[in-house]
Structure 1
């Protein structure tokens, strides 16, 4: 199989991939919606398609982040102050959420710590990634 070199064909191929992705995502959402109606939220989450949907969504979000950073136009595209403010906000949210989890009925302090840590990590990683991309773009 030869590599496509014509830009029109490459663009057409990318459009077909996008349409395929949209149809696949709509099918997954339809199946998960059916599970939500018939088996409830827990039944929907136990479907393996839920994991596929979550992984696809997270991957798409990370891949589109670099495009968002390229599209961002401004004289100052990154700042350490903005990064510090972001870390302050996610720290407050993580601690608050972890505390509320730990004081809720049937949960322990360890579970609250785990929930807070997961929330912190899942928001800190994208924050650092966007900061890195913006810093790299301004250095170029």
Structure 2
């Protein structure tokens, strides 16, 4: 297969790949919806397409981060403590909501749920911080 060197053809190829991905994505959502309607939440949890759907969304989100941070014009260096405290606040808020919604839950379960949400928000915030910091440092070197 010959390597594509024309920019127009590369763009056209990317559009075809995007269309195929959208069709595949819609198909996965359709299959998961059908499984949910037929078997309920229990059937959906056991479906390997559910895991594929979650992994695809995570990869898309992490893949879009460097692209979105390239378009930002930061006036000052990003602060990691802001990301940490936002993640901590979300973890505490989820723990409090768990106490309100399920008062019979054990303290261990509440702390575990809050800690999981804290980690799940801290990881992408940390990656985003590093992209923003790198872009800020690169833009200051250019000046």
Q: What is the TM-score when the length of structure 2 is the normalising length?
A: 0.83
What is residue 16 of structure 1 aligned with on the other side?
A: 16
Structure 2 stretches lacking a partner, 5+ long: 139-143
Whether the 8 Å CA contact 1:102–1:110 is kept in 2: the answer is no
What is residue 59 of structure 1 aligned with on the other side?
A: 59
Structure 1 stretches lacking a partner, 5+ long: none
Cα distance in 2, alignment partners of residues 62 and 52 from structure 1: 15
What is residue 124 of structure 1 aligned with on the other side?
A: 122
The Cα shift of 1:107 comes to: 3.4
Which of residues 76, 93, 97 in structure 2 aligns to 1:96?
93
Q: Deviations over 1:72-126 (max 9, x none)?
A: 23433x421xx32332232122123235436735633222222222111111111
Cα distance in 2, alignment partners of residues 109 and 8 from structure 1: 59
Whether the 8 Å CA contact 2:99–2:105 is kept in 1: the answer is yes
Q: Aligned to 1:67, what secondary structure does the other structure show?
A: helix
Whether the 8 Å CA contact 2:83–2:126 is kept in 1: the answer is no
Q: Aligned to 1:73, what secondary structure does the other structure show?
A: coil
Whether the 8 Å CA contact 2:95–2:114 is kept in 1: the answer is yes
What is residue 82 of structure 2 aligned with on the other side?
A: 85
Range with greater deviation from structure 2 (122-131 or 5-14)? 5-14
Range with greater deviation from structure 2 (97-106 or 84-93)? 97-106
Whether the 8 Å CA contact 1:87–1:124 is kept in 2: the answer is yes
Q: Kindly indicate whether structure 1 or structure 2 has the higher relative contact order, using CA contacts under 8 Å at least 6 residues apart.
A: 2
Q: What is the TM-score when the length of structure 1 is the normalising length?
A: 0.85
